[in-house]
Chain A
Amino acid sequence: MIAYIVRRALYAIPILIGVNIITFLLFFVVNTPDDMARMFLGQKHVTEVQIEDWKTERGYHNPLFYNAGAEGLDSFKETIFYTKSLRLFVFDFGRSDSGRDISFDISQRMWPSLAIAVPQLLIGLLVAITFALLIAFFRATYIDYWAVVICVALMSISSLFYIIGGQFVMGKLLRVVPISGFESGIFGIKFLILPVLIGVVGGIGSSTRWYRTIFLEEMNKDYVRTVRAKGIAEQTVLFRHVLRNALIPILTGVVVILPLLFMGSLITESFFGIPGLGSYTIDAINRQDFAIVRSMVFLGAVLYIIGLLLTDISYTVVDPRVRLS
């Protein structure tokens, strides 16, 4: 088991190197730091001195790969590739273009993101599985048909509509909960209700439909027929046998997104003014803070790879045969 996990973890290293190279190419080779400086300072009336200052302030003044001006090992160390890209491997994100410590910001901002994302995932799973099981119980009836139609219609509505509509109805018409904002501690719950609710409603169409097909697939298997032939009641068949077995693909499918919950959702957080990592990224995009966007790209990739690793592990836990192949 441990040997398997170690082997899978080693596979992640070349992928991380690849991601690092992609971000480096995208941020420093396609456009040179000079272009970024010019963009940041405004196009017209920018002097060379200003550009140099901007670059030196943010550590973009070094050459890309090889610094001919430095001695010995320093000629590799004092380069953008070393200071900006290689440091990412030890999660040293450095400072943002506006001078703040990115690592500190991330450690502060991931908790609000989690406060939204975790309840949203759990409640969403519970609701979708319940609905899907109900629909599967009424399979091949009009209830099934119309439930699927409603699911497709729900899937077709833009997520922006759910947010804007939800804010309008719950926050402005009914005045049940505040429209946006965040507060830590127990009193912060009132700020979480609306985004969590909207996240659950927005995802319900596609996940219910997806779980329904999983349930139906499971119901067509031989062991279900055997159980039915033994005269077991339909509820027992569904809850004891089908549900338990269908949970395996559903839960292993969820594992991959678990680490990404830290990153939060860009849209939800910016609409509700939640100081999480999602709104952090959006602000960085709008302010054109390249250092933050670069760090978030790398962090997102790392979390995704961890998710893949966890998925592999969960498969072996559920089904030990996987490990042997």
Chain B
Amino acid sequence: MLPGKPVFLLTDILIFVLVLGIVSFFAYAMRKPHLRQPWGQVVRSRAGVISMIVLAVYVAIALLDSLHFHPVLENPAADSTEVQYSGEVISVFDQLVSGLRASTEKTYSAPFSAHLYAKETVQQADGTRVRVYPRLAWGAAHLEEPHTQKTADILGLALTGALKAILVWAVLLVLWALYLSARTARAFPVAFRTLFDGHSEVPWRTVSMTLGVVLLVLMVGAEWASKYHVLGTDKVGEDVLYQALKSIRTGVVIGTLTTLLMVPFAIVLGIMAGFFRGWIDDVIQYLYTTLNSVPGVLLIAAAVLMLNVYMSKHAEAFASLTQRADMRLLFLCLILGLTSWTGLCRLLRAETLKLRAVDFVQAATAFGVGPMQTIFRHILPNVMHIVLITLVLDFSGLVLAEAVLSYINIGVDPTMNSWGNMINSARLEMAREPIVWWSLAASLFFMFTLVLFANLFADVVRDALDPRVSR
């Protein structure tokens, strides 16, 4: 149960609807051999399984970060007996990493540093004042003599983390082997050995190795983060690792919801244009050519400017800052979808035109099957692979676009954690001496990992689903 009163933000609801849709699609597809076959190909490729595991970690964090609630107030007002809730909205993920969230410093500090970035005047016990780098309130606070102890402490923590990772990894592998041996009626040692088999159909060795590496990174990172600011702190002293992790949700929401919001329009209009032809086709083609003519960035800029005007006029309509930021995120998804649905619509129109002339559709028409039924029974299932390919192909581009848009202030709300906002606020600090590089590096690294594996995954999915690619 949530430790508080749940809050349902619009993007939360939509993202869980999407998850539900994907899960039910797979539940359905697994029972149909012709739908299962291409996904089998995805699972059999090395790049496919590696990227699936990494993406799963990202998506899991995004989903945990999408369960929002008002936390229970620690110190309720004395005169009331019932439970009181705080006004701020936090997520389950915030609760899990509450250590990181609470551990703020005064200002910048470098990764793993025990001292603040800037010198301060400190009054000593004998009354003299000195200019020193003060100790951090939280990072490496457990050490007496950071200069001598820090390296050993960091290594020790890494070792603990590694041991934990190996333990969890071993337990997972044993459980998985048990499951395999039960399902395939093989002896346990044989099943266990297949997990390290480099030549099996499903690349088990790659799966177990990737899992091991991911666990190692997570566990060592968690150990370090419990005592240090692994990626330093930013201008107001917030932990950069926390910001980068929180940004995952923004990236994933933009990458997925944009496509989800535009897909219905693209499907309906694309199939209608291709199937009915004539003036319907003309109107729809005119619509998407016109929308496509306006350069995307400018259309987004114009729309976001107008949104700013609208929001400042209706400031009272939003209950909290979080909701306001959330509405803005959703609107950004909508407007990005508006500029990107034309491509999918054109593809679907062309495919429908082709399908319309195919024998089984002609036969259906000859038997007197109505247009709606033909579309639902024959056309729609045969264009779904295009929709799926677009969904995965667009993802990485949208994550990158978010950063660029936030940089020119037409992206997500400035109060929202996102990689674009992190880069935007960090790039001004490049001029400092010594330079503050960690905020920038963290956001770029997290974004790069997500986009790289999304790209690899998209390639594998496209190769598997696209009938034009020869197998």
Q: Which of B133-141, B293-301, B371-379 contacts A (4 or more CB under 8 A)?
A: B293-301
Contact A267 B313 (CB under 8 A): no
Which secondary structure dominates chain A's binding surface? helix
Q: Is A229 in contact with chain B by the CB < 8 A criterion?
A: no
Which one of A158, A167, A172, A296 contacts B448 once the chains associate, using CB atoms below 8 Å? A158
- Whether A15 contacts B293 in the complex (CB less than 8 A), given A267-B407, A282-B408, A293-B305, comes out as yes
Bound: A39/B302 CA distance, A: 15
Task: Scan residues 24-77 of chain A and give those whose CB is less than 8 A from a CB of chain B.
Answer: 26-27, 30-31, 35-36, 38-39, 43
Cβ contact within 8 Å between A158 and B444: yes
Does any Cβ of A come within 8 Å of B452's Cβ?
A: yes
Q: Within 8 Å CB of B310, what residues of A?
A: 30-31, 35
Are A301 and B408 also in contact (CB < 8 A) when A31-B310, A38-B313 are?
Answer: no
**A304 is an interface residue with CB less than 8 A from chain B:** yes
* Interface mask (B401-437 → A, CB under 8 Å = 1, otherwise 0): 0011001111000000001000100010010000000
A22 to B302, CA, bound (A): 11
B466 to chain A, nearest CB (A): 13
- Report Cα–Cα, A270/B448, bound state, in Å: 23
A270: which B residues are within 8 A, CB to CB? 408
Report, as a range, how many residues of chain A touch the other chain. Answer: 35 or more
In the complex, chain B residues whose CB is within 8 Å of the CB of A164: 423, 427, 430, 440
B455 at the interface (CB under 8 A from A): yes
Segment at the interface with B among A83-91, A119-127, A283-291: A283-291
Chain A residues in 8 Å Cβ range of B295: 260, 263, 297, 300-301, 304
Interface residue A313 (Cβ < 8 Å from any Cβ of B): no
A28 to chain B, nearest CB (A): 10
Q: When the two chains form their complex, are residues B408 and A19 in contact, meaning their CB atoms are under 8 A apart? A: no
* Complex contact A300–B408 (CB within 8 A): no
Contact A297 B404 (CB under 8 A): no
The answer to whether B408 touches A157, judged by C-beta atoms less than 8 angstroms apart, is: no
Give CA–CA (A39, B440) in the complex, Å. Answer: 33
Tell which of A36, A282, A297, A300 touches B309, judged by Cβ atoms closer than 8 Å.
Answer: A36
Interface string of A194-221 (1 = CB under 8 A from B): 0000000000000000000000000000
CA distance A27 to B293 in the complex (A): 17
Task: Given the known inter-chain contacts A267-B407, A288-B305, please indicate yes or no for A168 contacting B430, CB distance below 8 A.
Answer: yes
Q: How far is the CB of B403 from chain A (nearest CB, A)?
A: 5
Tell me the complex Cα distance, A168–B444, Å: 15
Nearest chain B CB to A170 CB, angstrom units:
13
A206 to B451 CA separation, bound complex (whole angstroms): 13
Say how far B87's CB is from chain A's closest CB, in angstroms: 23
Contacts of A282 in B (CB 8 A): 408
Report A-chain residues with C-beta under 8 Å of the C-beta of B309.
31, 35-36, 39
CB pair A158–B408 under 8 Å, yes or no, is no
- Contact B400 A296, beta carbon cutoff 8 Å: no
Known A14-B286, A22-B294, A267-B407; judge A35-B313 contact (CB<8 A).
yes
Q: Is the CB of B452 within 8 A of A153?
A: yes
Q: Are B302 and A294 interface neighbours, CB within 8 A?
A: yes
- Residues in chain B near residue A193, CB distance under 8 A: none
- Residue B80 CB within 8 A of the other chain: no
Residue on A with the closest CB to B431?
A172
CB <8 Å contact, A293 and B302: yes
Q: By the criterion CB–CB under 8 Å, are B400 and A158 in contact? A: yes
Q: Judge whether B123 is part of the interface by a CB distance below 8 angstroms.
A: no
B306, B403, B408 — most chain A CB neighbours (10 Å):
B306
Least Cβ–Cβ distance between B409 and chain A, in angstroms: 6
Give A257-273 interface residues, CB cut-off 8 Å to B.
260, 263, 266-267, 270
> Which among A156, A296, A297 has the highest number of chain B CB atoms within 10 Å?
A156
Find out whether the CB atom of A159 lies under 8 angstroms from the CB atom of B409: no
Contact of A285 among B299, B396, B409, B448 (CB under 8 A): B409
Q: Report the 4 A-B pairs with minimum CB-CB distance, sorted nearest first.
A: A18-B290, A156-B452, A300-B295, A156-B451
7 pairs of residues in contact across A and B, judged by CB atoms under 8 Å: A35-B310, A39-B308, A156-B396, A156-B455, A270-B408, A282-B408, A285-B410
Binding site for A on B (CB under 8 A): 286-287, 289-295, 297-299, 301-303, 305-306, 308-310, 312-313, 315, 396, 400, 403-404, 407-410, 419, 423, 427, 430, 440, 444, 447-448, 451-452, 455-456, 459
